[in-house]
A and B are shown apart, each in its own frame.
Chain A
């Protein structure tokens, strides 16, 4: 009888201990730390500055570790790098760049549509009419209606340039979409746009129509 009482007392204390340190703001403890925490460098883990350095020329006995890919290398199957600079000249020259995509199948179109809905439709709208949830709620102004004449006439390369480097209030999407995906999006946007009409052709001689806004610095 007494023994049982003691055991019960012990169990209740342990239970109280376990539950009391369970604050949800704290990560809590683990049983075997050496099995739970990686000794290798994990993604997003902070680099231990006593062991690693990002400075290749001045290692000072530390291990050189640089997360950036080696300059000049590219992923297998990826499109060739886009070399035009992010400035006024680059923007002008971008009109001469041709899309490297030779075919655009229905499957490609579906994939590009999926990417468009994830990355672009939030502002530009699912039909590229500049009325996505963020635009229509008035949170960001100046969102381009890509079905407008000036964007129908915009060169593929210029559109790619704008997705790559960003334009006015739009940021660069180079970190979210690889080059092939960006070119696919250009193709997909073309399918959302109305076909260029013959009547609209004379207007294209107007030099400002193709450049809807002043280039960003």
Chain B
């Protein structure tokens, strides 16, 4: 029995040995990949310069054994080693983070992964793509026109036939009036024109001063679709004032530079096109930003302040064109709606994250405001569960009504959201 056991153990251990041995190479590479991604990938790419140099070809560039000392402690190496000094000069002011915790084998694994790395082959757009959405209104218009012409021809045919039968029966009706002098036709045409013209006039007159769909050309082609859509930057990152103040804030140039110190060219897949179809060069637009910020992309520094005005020379504010304008006699506060009312930006501004160029989505008319105030429920305080905005605990009557099931929710209108003085004072 014990002999069998021994054999089994022997067989099993040799199997295990073979298994480990045969998988050894792949585990090493895999470890290297994981380590590379967690420790190095933030600054290094295997095949291209990034924040730090491209790592492939490292063996040919540096002295033997350099890499282990360098990874463990770059700062002391820069002080003592001539090659390290050269590296630091080339990539300053950034110095690599020290990784004293990486063992020699781990560094080997990482560098093996780097040497074996091949850039993934880019795949073409998958599938044949969906059929483009078509606008049916043109089709309907043509159909209506065709039907109108058919109706007109039939009317003419009808009158001709009647004329023939009348002649056959010997009834004299006199010369028929041509259709363009026919008073019934003329009256109908005038009425239709009156209706359409009146409708358009009223609409245009109401829309005056409301600027719906206003989409001015901005000094820099800033695509909200790229920033808020593709890159998922929160609206409040740039427009932080929306939660704290009356104004949503147009970000100052330094906020743009938070990212654009690092991103100096546009390489996105999203094609940048203006409303009128002109293509936009994203990299040139970023260059415009650098000019406004007084930033030198080559030295990666702001221009020196030689004229003593406290900002880099050449820096100036960007004159963005304000799109959403309310008349002076209306008060509107962003924080009241965003922070207290917990409204999404998109409720009023539309799908900003899909707009290459922003336009005024809503009417911003009084009727539009009032309508929303009538429909929107406030975050009413629930005395039993303690949920909701505690401010509303003072509305005794509503609390009683809710208790007696006379009321199931409280709208903005109920707490005075349609009073004149709320917005006009």
CB of A18 within 8 A of CB of B211, answer no
Could you say which of B42, B44, B74, B250 contacts A144, with CB atoms under 8 Å apart?
A: B42
Partner-binding segment picked from A31-39, A76-84, A91-99, A183-191: A31-39
Chain B 79-94 near chain A by CB (<8 Å), digits 1 or 0: 0000000000000111
**B217 within 8 Å of A (CB atoms):** yes
Nearest CB of A to B236, in Å: 5
Given contacts A12-B193, A36-B328, A169-B261, contact A141 B42 (CB under 8 A): yes
Size range of the chain B interface in the assembly = 35 or more
CB of A213 within 8 A of CB of B95, answer yes
Nearest CB of B to A6, in Å: 10
Nearest CB of B to A71, in Å: 12
Given contacts A18-B200, A28-B209, A44-B322, contact A176 B257 (CB under 8 A): no
List residues of A (8-60) whose CB comes within 8 Å of B's CBs.
8, 11-12, 14-15, 18-19, 22, 24-31, 35-39, 43-44, 46
Which residues in A have their C-beta under 8 angstroms from that of B411?
none
Given contacts A122-B234, A170-B258, contact A141 B51 (CB under 8 A): yes
Could you say which of B211, B234, B359 contacts A117, with CB atoms under 8 Å apart?
A: B234
List residues of A (134-167) whose CB comes within 8 Å of B's CBs.
134-135, 137-145, 148-150, 166
Rounded to whole angstroms, the CA-CA distance of A215 and B92 in the bound complex is 10
Which residues in B have their C-beta under 8 angstroms from that of A140?
259, 262-263
CB of B100 within 8 A of CB of A203, answer yes
Given contacts A122-B234, A150-B97, contact A141 B262 (CB under 8 A): yes
Given contacts A140-B263, A141-B50, A142-B43, contact A133 B216 (CB under 8 A): no
Rounded to whole angstroms, the CA-CA distance of A5 and B187 in the bound complex is 9
Which residue from chain A places its CB closest to the CB of B200 in the assembled complex? A15
**A208 within 8 Å of B (CB atoms):** yes
Residue positions of A touching B, CB distance < 8 A: 1, 4-5, 7-8, 11-12, 14-15, 18-19, 22, 24-31, 35-39, 43-44, 46, 117-119, 122-123, 130, 133-135, 137-145, 148-150, 166, 168-173, 175-176, 203, 206-209, 211-217
Residue positions of B touching A, CB distance < 8 A: 38, 42-45, 50-52, 73-76, 92-98, 100-101, 183, 186-187, 190, 193-194, 196-198, 200-201, 204-205, 207-209, 211, 213-217, 231-234, 236-237, 240, 246-247, 250, 252, 254-255, 257-259, 261-263, 275, 301, 319, 322, 325, 327-329, 359
